[in-house]
Amino acid sequence: MFDTVTGKARHLPTHATLPIVVSTTAQALAVTAILLLPALFVAEQIPEIPTMMAFVAPPPPPPAPPPPPMQRPAPAKPVAQAVPAPSTSALIAPVEAPKTIEPEPEGPEYLDEGVPGGVEGGVPGGIVGGVLGGLPEAPPPPPPPPATRGPVRVGGQIQAPTLIHRVEPYYPSTAVDARLQGVVILEAIVDRDGTVAEVKVLRSVNPLLDREAVLAVKQWRYSPLVLNGLRERFVLTVMLSFSIETRS
């Protein structure tokens, strides 16, 4: 009715053209999004350019001038010096002996001679920390002990000393009842004072009779044996007889 009044005719979209318009609009938006998204992504990856600050350094100082060339010292000229020849008179030994011999002067330099850590009154040239007057001489070795001489055996030119005290052996009744008899031979060693020190059986008759013979001889006493003014030990042989007939 409004169109009829204005006298203009308006074409309204029909149901057939509406899908085309919507499709075209959607395609336009899709194309626009495709074009804008890569541009935004690239813009985010671009690094920011930092603000640069310029500093102006002062110019370096001029280099120092080179040192002047060194002059070599002039070589020293050799100077010849005359060496005095030794006097022939000083090399010749004197023919005559000097009349007087003067002692060497003992000055303070002689008295002060020494080394740190030395011994007062020591010998010059000695070892530091040594003993005054040097090490003592080693004592002489002790004399060897006198050789022990064995007892002198009586016989020949050496006669047996006198028997001072004699003890007869005991004849046991058991030996008499058993008819034990015979001669027991003993060897006795007599000391320097005449006492019998040791007794050894040389020939045995019976252990019972041997024991009685040894006990009897150990009680004997002799006069000392003197040789060259010294008392000596001596050895002698003793024979003791056990007989029943003699004891009946």
Can you read off the two tokens belonging to residue 5? 């009044």
Most confident of 22-26, 36-40, 69-73, 194-198: 194-198
Percent of the chain with pLDDT over 90: 29
Beta-carbon contacts of residue 227 (< 8 Å; ≥ 6 apart): 152, 158
Which comes out higher in pLDDT, residue 200 or 113? 200
End-to-end CA distance of the chain: give it in Å, rounded: 208
pLDDT at 151 over 60: yes
**pTM: predicted TM-score of the whole model, two decimal places:** 0.41
Residue 77 has pLDDT above 70, yes or no: no
> Which residues lie below 8 Å from residue 121, measured CB to CB, with a gap of 6+?
132, 133
Residue 171 lies in a domain: yes
Query: In whole angstroms, what is the distance from residue 193 CA to residue 234 CA?
Result: 11
Instruction: Assess if residue 50 is contained within a domain.
Output: no
Distances (CA, A) of 179 to 22, 183, 185, 213: 173, 14, 19, 17
Between 216 and 63, the higher pLDDT residue: 216
DSSP secondary structure letter of residue 234: E
- pLDDT surpasses 60 at 112: no
pLDDT in tens, 56-71: 566 777 887 777 776 6
Residue 99 belongs to some domain of the structure: no
Task: Show Cβ contacts of residue 191 under 8 Å, excluding neighbours closer than 6 positions.
Answer: 197, 233
User: 70 lies in a domain?
Assistant: no
Under DSSP, the state recorded for 46 is: S
Where residue 236 sits, what CATH number does that domain have? 3.30.2420.10
Name the range with the highest mean pLDDT among 3-7, 37-41, 71-75, 178-182: 178-182
**Residue 172 within any structural domain of the chain:** yes
Classify strands 152-153 and 234-242 as parallel, antiparallel or unpaired: parallel
Please give the pLDDT value at position 143: 84
Q: Are 180 and 242 in contact (CB under 8 A)?
A: yes
Strands 230-232 vs 225-227: parallel, antiparallel or unpaired: antiparallel
Higher pLDDT, 80 or 135: 135
Q: What is the average pLDDT value for the chain, to the nearest integer? A: 75
Do the domain assignments include residue 109?
no
User: Angle CA(58)–CA(64)–CA(67) in degrees, nearest 5?
Assistant: 175
Tell me, what's the pLDDT at 240? 94
pLDDT at 8: 47
Q: Give the list of residues 6+ apart from residue 198 with CB closer than 8 angstroms, or none.
A: 188, 189
* Cβ neighbours, 10 Å, residue 242: 22
Do 209 and 242 touch, CB atoms closer than 8 A? yes
Q: Looking at residue 162, what is its pLDDT?
A: 92
* Structural domain boundaries enclosing 221: 152-242
Pick the more confident residue, 124 or 55: 124
User: Could you tell me if residue 167 is inside a domain?
Assistant: yes
Q: Burial level of 14, CB count in 10 A (0-12/13-18/19+)?
A: exposed
- How many domains is the chain partitioned into structurally? 1
Q: Is residue 232 domain-resident? A: yes
Quick check: 90 pLDDT over 50? no
